[in-house]
Amino acid sequence: MEWVIATNNKGKLAEFARILEALGLRAVSQREAGVCLEVEETGKTFEENAYLKAAAAAKASGRPAVADDSGLEVDALGGLPGVYTARYAGEHATDGQNIDKLLAALGDLPEDQRGARFVSAICCVLPDGRSFTVRGECEGRIGFARAGEGGFGYDPVFFVGERSFAQLSAAEKDACSHRGKALRAFAARLREQNWEQTAAD
């Protein structure tokens, strides 16, 4: 069964496809489904934004759709950047600009005050309007400088243990990441409700 992934982010799409394939589900991009969408993320929570994107993709494609809204919550910043993670340094900010602003905001705070977590809310919407949302979190800390060449977004400065997300292999990251946890919860919920069959009918 094919699921339309409601994102234009190549990094997210690659992670979705890789994790869902391991769960026996096939992900197709909005472009592959003939959908061209840029949904305005007006929600105040990750869950609300995920629903907005998934519902729009399901309506436009006539297929089951799944969307993720994810972000970084930094304890010392009161949970920021949160839902503004992708545009922390401005509406069209690059990953590098967002990281630079984050490191500047934390300054020389000691390691024990640099706690943070990545959060992923994943929403599934069927063409008939049924939906559910799951959540995954990964606790870590913000480093003092970038490390590693992999990943995307804030991965080079988000550390789990002694390594950043950007230093982990794809398999290592999937095993502990917020999105990996949320997608596994999504697959379990899907099977519990027997939506795989009803969505395919």
Residue 174 among the catalytic residues: no
**Tokens matching residue 80:** 């920021």
Say if CB 135 and CB 47 are below 8 A apart: yes
Say if CB 24 and CB 200 are below 8 A apart: no
Measured distance CA(22)–CA(71) in Å, rounded? 24
Selecting among 68, 69, 155, 174, the annotated active-site residue is: 69
The total of other beta-carbon atoms located within 10 Å of residue 141's CB is: 19
Measured distance CA(23)–CA(29) in Å, rounded? 17
Q: Would you say how long the chain is, in residues?
A: 201
The total of other beta-carbon atoms located within 10 Å of residue 104's CB is: 9
Residue 62's contacts (CB-CB under 8 Å, 6 or more residues apart) are 127
Element (H, E) at 172: helix 170-176
Q: Where in the sequence numbering do the catalytic residues fall?
A: 69
